[in-house]
Structure 1
Amino acid sequence: MYFLKRWASDLDWRLLLLILTPLSLLVFVSLSSSATNPYSLFSSFTPLKSFLSPQTPQSRSPLPFLTSSPPIPSPNPSDSAEQMKKKKRKEELDRSKIAICLVGGARRFELTGPSIIDKILKVYRNSDLFLHSPLDKDSFKFSLLKVAPRLASVRIFKPKPLPENEAQLRVLSSNNSPNGIQGLVQYFNLVEGCLTMIKEYQMQKNFTYDWIVRTRVDGYWSAPLSPENFEPNRYLVPPGSDFGGLNDRLGVGDLNTSTVALSRLSLIPQLDAAGLRQLNSESAFKAQLTTQGVSYFTRRLPFCIVSDRKYSYPPMRFGVPVASLSSPGPLSGAKCRPCKPVCAGPCVADVVGTLYKGWSWTHWSNGTLQLCDAHGDWENGWEKIFDRVAGKKLAAVRKRVSELKLTGCVNDLEEMKRRTVIWDAPPADEICKLGLDRNWSQANCK
């Protein structure tokens, strides 16, 4: 009996040793693999893991013994230091208060408006839109803004001649201005009027904006406005088309620099006192910044000014090259239209090379610029060209506006009015009839 009991006891120890040896090995392997993830130890013991991390019926694996430990998030190796910097800057801007100042006549807003909404307003969703525009037959197209994320203030006014004082006549030049000094004064009033709207809104809401983006209604954007264009204490202007001064077709700055840049009329007396004479819009703009000690920088930007104006082709020494909307760009505010390019590649160098370099036309090398023959009206079939370049989404908006009826226009403008904090414009039916009701328009134009 003694030997029998001892044999049974030895057998128990052998069985226990047989069980513990592989189990110890399994624990050792699990501990080794859990150096970076302490919970991976439980991945080999599914019941224990399930108990510590309960699963819902939807998330439970049909084969629980194949479950693995949750992945550890890590930085995307494809993100460069520059990309990470841009992401951080974008996050900062998303927390900032930004005013988007949109000025000018509606013209081809069915082509440009959707690009402004997508590439600026929806990129900076914490931004507020300010629209300052004269009433005309195209103003009904502003109904597209009913989908803008945030509408702060809209002013659509009936234009009238503005007085021209002696200081303006001394400082400003009528050369190359389609409507002379009056045209410059009207344009300056549009820009500074938007600044006035922003100040009124700030007072009403009891806060101040961090940034102001001033752009034109007739600007077509092919890519988003990048966060790198927002620099404290420095004002951004596009390069090219500066005509002896600075390109004034867009500007980005903080509140202080933007206040100087947008004070187009108020600062004329100071330019006059400084003895400055016969300035065009661009040179007056540069003088505003330099006399007030505002630092500025230039950077190429992905937008162009869609124009119906006719320009001789090929442009001569002081002519204006008109870019095709299909140009790879960035076009930095150059005049453009949808066309089949008549000049691309080496041809562009031959044409632009004859132009007066002091006017600094947009960057054109490396195939970034394609030229239109803009001596006449827009060519037949321009709609298909635009739709192909802009894409299905913007093409659908263009078609919708071309088919818009009076009732739909009024409903859209009324919806836009309901979403706008400050509304200063004629009644919706008056705006829509001016552009869509030919009989009403003719009767009111006599």
Structure 2
Amino acid sequence: MNEGSPLDIVLRRGRIHGSDHQRPMDIGIRADRIVEVAPSISADAREIDLGGRLVCAGFIETHIHLDKACILGRCGHSESLAHAIAKVSALKRDFTQDDVYARGRRVLEKALIQGTTRMRTHVEVDPRVGLRAFDAISRLRKDYAWAIDLEICVFPQEGLLNDPGTDDLLVEALEGGADVIGGCPYTDTDPNGQIARIFELAERYDVDIDFHLDFDLDPSSMDLYEVCRQTEKHRRGGRVAIGHVSKLSAAPPPVLQQATEMLRSCGVAVTVLPATDLFLMGHGKTHSVPRGVAPAHRLLQQGVTCSISTNNVMNPFTPFGDCSLLRMANLYANIQQVGQEKEMALCFEMVTSQSARLMNLKDYGIRVGAAADLVVLDAETPEAAVAELAQPLLGLKAGRETFKRPPPIVLHPVSGERTVIRDGQDFPAHRQDDRSVKDQISLV
């Protein structure tokens, strides 16, 4: 029993992601922290019975674009990466703070009910949009702090050294509270020059770096090598991430192995964006269309920090999206033909613990002292959650409930029986009491 001040909530009978315990455990929460994890917690506190379901620390979105989400109706689909960039470039001149805020809020709430509790969003900064998008997302960060920890990564989508005025705006954003600086070398006339400048700014403002990198299918030359070189030069291992890297999907085994070893030794993390990478790579091909998604699970198996993320939602880069990171993990598993349980579990790690490592989060996980940022899934194991696209049923941020979704019930017309389906098995659906002495809420 916890000997401190009274607990606020006890989560009963949860299968804890990352735990060595095979049987369900209880989790005691006080204020915004986990204060006890035990087989049985005795406490006069509100109880939520998880019924043996999987509970994990909240999902982490490491790479998304809130500022240009939900604009598909304004500009339509695209046929290439360059076409998508051009379409958004024309539109963002007319972006207002309120417009960016409203669209970002829509996506943020989608992510919230899918179990995301932490997020890194990339925000474009250049003379066309100025700091309007950055200011809007900064407002959103403050207004939704109760539900999601939001990191802002400012970056130059259309080039830096070849786009006068962009450097000054990046500096202004960093001085105005941006958390991370990003880059997009493949849109610059001097890719190596842009990479060097991004490292200079990161060092000056002591922020992490997150590049869009190597977004095509020609592995004969890769900016990845220069990023690794600069990471070593500036001793920033563990503070640099690269997103997309679709060139690795087309790299022959010796090239892939060389890149993997460099990434591991330099401490550069990799994020794959399955929906966007799959959608944009190979446009124009009439047959044998490439998938274009880097084999992150293979990199992870060799010690590279890797994450799976959403990237774009309802825009020319990706004309769909519900902000479900489990869906992204499942899509990745399909693309990479991942079927073994151990590899499926790695896909789950790449939207949870690996993502936390990429973002250098120190209070993540289910352990005493960690933040009470938790999600309950309608599954018993991480592998099943990925394979079956398990629904998030309950979310907590800093110990406070942020959403609730009742498990679906099958209504049998003849017998009147009511059952809940989970992991291929039928469970009787118990009646949920609205009130009790301990204000019990059951997800059984």
TM tier, smaller: under 0.3
| Larger strand fraction of residues | 2
If the length of structure 1 is used for normalisation, what is the TM-score?
0.26
> Which has the larger Rg?
1
Higher RCO (CA-CA < 8 Å; seq separation 6+):
2
| Larger helix fraction of residues | 1
